[in-house]
Amino acid sequence: MKIPKQRALILMAFGIGAGLLSGMFGLGGGIIIVPGLMFALGMDQRRAHGTSLAGVFLISCSSFFTYWTHDHIDWPVVLWLSIGSVAGSLVGAELLKRLSKRTLTIAFVCILVIAGVRMFFKIDATGEMILNAPTAAWLVVIGIVVGALAGMLGIGGGLMSVPILVIFFHVSPAVAKGTSLAVVIPTAFSGTLQNLRNKNTDLTAAAIVSSTGIITAIAGGWIAARMNDTMSNFLFAVLLIFIAGRMLLQLRKQREITPIGE
The reply to whether 212 falls in a domain is: yes
**Terminal CA-CA length for the chain:** 29
pLDDT at residue 163, rounded to an integer: 76
Q: Which domain holds residue 152?
A: 5-257
pLDDT at residue 126, rounded to an integer: 56
Mean pLDDT by 10 residues, the chain (262 residues): 81 91 79 83 86 88 86 91 87 76 76 77 63 89 83 71 79 83 85 86 92 90 74 76 79 60 40
pLDDT at residue 256, rounded to an integer: 55
The reply to whether 135 falls in a domain is: yes
The reply to whether 78 falls in a domain is: yes
pLDDT at residue 209, rounded to an integer: 92
pLDDT at residue 128, rounded to an integer: 61
The reply to whether 162 falls in a domain is: yes
The reply to whether 93 falls in a domain is: yes
Q: Could you tell me which of 193, 183, 221 has the C-alpha nearest to residue 79?
A: 183
Burial of residue 11 (CB within 10 Å: 0-12, 13-18, 19+) is buried
The reply to whether 47 falls in a domain is: yes
pLDDT at residue 140, rounded to an integer: 92
The reply to whether 262 falls in a domain is: no
pLDDT at residue 154, rounded to an integer: 66
Please state the domain count of the chain.
1
pLDDT at residue 125, rounded to an integer: 54
The reply to whether 165 falls in a domain is: yes
User: Residue 170: left (phi > 0), alpha (psi -120 to 50), or beta?
Assistant: left
